[in-house]
């Protein structure tokens, strides 16, 4: 299994970019910025990082998850300069945008499911 030490090693090269692009990750339910995940990062690292992204999202939504707090704390210990720990990236100011992004994501999943279901009925 991929450890937080493996994740920290992969993310150690990340540097804050004030112009980083923000995207929504439907698997974690959170935002991530382009300066948080280096190009070419192995999928296994990204999957493990999703626990941290999910925890950050829960902070943003004013409902901190206890499930992934240990991963958050461990990565913060191992890689404290990771741009994902910047306070503005878990700010309550993002709450409405994050909620809307989650709703939009779920709508797109439901639309895709309906499209697949209707194709199966044909």
Cα–Cα distance, 71 to 43 (Å, whole number): 17
Q: b/e per residue, 23-50, with b = 16+ CB within 10 A?
A: ebbeebbbbbbebbbeeebeeebbebbb
* Count of structural domains within the chain: 1
The confidence score (pLDDT) of residue 114 equals 86
pLDDT tens profile 40-82: 999 999 999 999 999 999 999 999 988 899 999 999 999 999 9
Return d(Cα 75, Cα 97) in angstroms, integer: 25
Least reliable range by pLDDT among 6-10, 16-20, 80-84, 117-121: 117-121
Instruction: Give me the domain span that covers residue 39.
Output: 4-121
pLDDT of residue 120: 58
Give the pLDDT band of residue 23 (cuts 50, 70, 90).
Answer: very high
Tokens read off for 29: 């339910």
């Amino acid at each position: 299994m991929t450890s937080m030490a493996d994740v920290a090693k992969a993310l150690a090269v990340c540097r804050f970019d004030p112009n980083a692009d923000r995207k929504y990750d439907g698997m974690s339910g959170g935002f991530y910025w382009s300066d948080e995940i280096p190009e070419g990062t192995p999928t296994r690292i990204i999957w493990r990082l999703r626990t941290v992204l999910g925890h950050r999202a829960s902070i943003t939504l004013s409902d901190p998850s206890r499930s992934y707090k240990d991963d958050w704390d461990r990565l913060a210990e191992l890689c404290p300069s990771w741009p994902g720990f910047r306070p503005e990236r878990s700010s309550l100011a993002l709450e409405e945008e994050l909620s809307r992004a989650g709703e939009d994501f779920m709508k797109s999943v439901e639309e895709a499911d309906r499209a697949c279901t209707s194709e199966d009925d044909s």
